[in-house]
Amino acid sequence: MTKIAIVDDNETTLREVERLTKSYMETASYSFQIKSYSKPLALISSIIDGDRFDLYVLDVEMPGSTGIDVAQVIRKFQSMAVIIFLTSYLEYATKGYTVYALRYILKNKMAEELPEALEVSLKTLAEADNSCLMVSHYSNVTRVQYKDIIYVRKNYRSLQIVTTEQGLLADIRGIKELFETIDDPRFTFTDRSCFINLDFARAIDGNWMVMKNGERLPISRPMMPKVKDAIMCLWGG
């Protein structure tokens, strides 16, 4: 299922974006869920509280917090989510590059441009979803998507892979070998025996990484600078 968040402070525009999005998703036979917000701060609070969407359609010009502000918060938590901006003036488009927006759509051309943007967005999400790891433990082989891996740590003679959808998985490879196999900037070591998916990192608390599932994982002193650099690089700033 594709989860979509829409935010626009103009109620008429918000409903029109909803209608166009729903029409495209139904015509293309996609399973989807839409959640709409008339206030950007409501979406920001939802994201900080742990809500996640695959696709965000954001009005750029909103009082208080702009669509760019919302996108900056999204990028702190989700590096791979797709962002589409709605605007009345393309002068804002250059700012969209800082948050890796996929499209800028003029509001007076939504009916023509939004369906195409949604099509490209869904293809982009599908390509990201294809990034997966084949996990082997003796005779058992399991496929797990990168986006569902919370962290990996060494556990006696095997590796313990903690996931969102498949619980705990075991793998017989060495931890460095598995890290190199994944080769994705979302993942970083917190110590010699553990690496995490930064999409699931909530905060650094002293020498601990607080994860969104409530777990606290130790960060070794030698790894702390690399962990902070990885966060700054991925989250931006």
The pLDDT tens digits of the residues spanning 195-215 come to: 999 989 988 999 999 998 999
Q: Which domain holds residue 34?
A: 2-129
E strand intervals along 76-186? 82-87, 103-106, 132-137, 140-145, 149-155, 158-163, 168-171
Q: What does pTM read for this prediction?
A: 0.59
Contact status, residue 151 vs residue 159, Cβ threshold 8 Å: no
Task: Say whether both 22 and 102 belong to one domain.
Answer: yes
Q: Give the SS3 label for residue 33.
A: strand
- Residues sharing a CB contact under 8 Å with residue 192, sequence separation 6 or more, in sequence order: 175, 220, 223
Query: What phi and psi values does residue 218 have, to the nearest 5 degrees?
Result: -70, 145
Higher-pLDDT residue of 185 and 210 is 210
φ and ψ at residue 185, rounded to 5 degrees: -65, -15
CATH number at residue 95: 3.40.50.2300
Q: What is the pLDDT of residue 44?
A: 94
Do 165 and 188 have their domain in common? yes
**Domain boundary residue, one of 66, 96, 129:** 129
The CATH number assigned to the domain holding 156 equals: 2.40.50.1020
Into how many domains does the chain fold? 2
Is 173 in contact with 159 (CB distance < 8 Å)? yes
| pLDDT digit string, tens, across residues 81-129 | 899 999 887 665 556 566 888 889 999 999 999 999 999 999 888 776 6
Residue ending a domain, choose from 113, 129, 145 = 129
Predicted confidence band of residue 236 (pLDDT cuts 50, 70, 90) = low
Same domain, 6 and 116: yes
1 has pLDDT over 80: no
Q: Who has greater pLDDT, 114 or 76?
A: 114
**Statement to judge: residues 59 and 137 lie in one domain:** no
Considering the domain architecture, whether residues 142 and 167 belong to the same structural domain is answered as yes
How do 132-137 and 140-145 pair as beta strands? antiparallel
Could you say which of 114, 129, 144 is where a domain stops?
129
On average, the pLDDT of the chain sits at 88
Q: Same structural domain for residues 117 and 145? A: no
Task: Name the 3-class secondary structure at 29.
Answer: coil
Predicted pLDDT of residue 52? 83
Query: CA 218 from chain center: how many Å?
Result: 23
pLDDT at 70: 94
Closest CA to 59 of 116, 115, 12: 12
Q: Which of 110-114, 153-157, 204-208, 223-227 has the lowest mean pLDDT?
A: 153-157
If you count them, how many residues does the chain have?
237
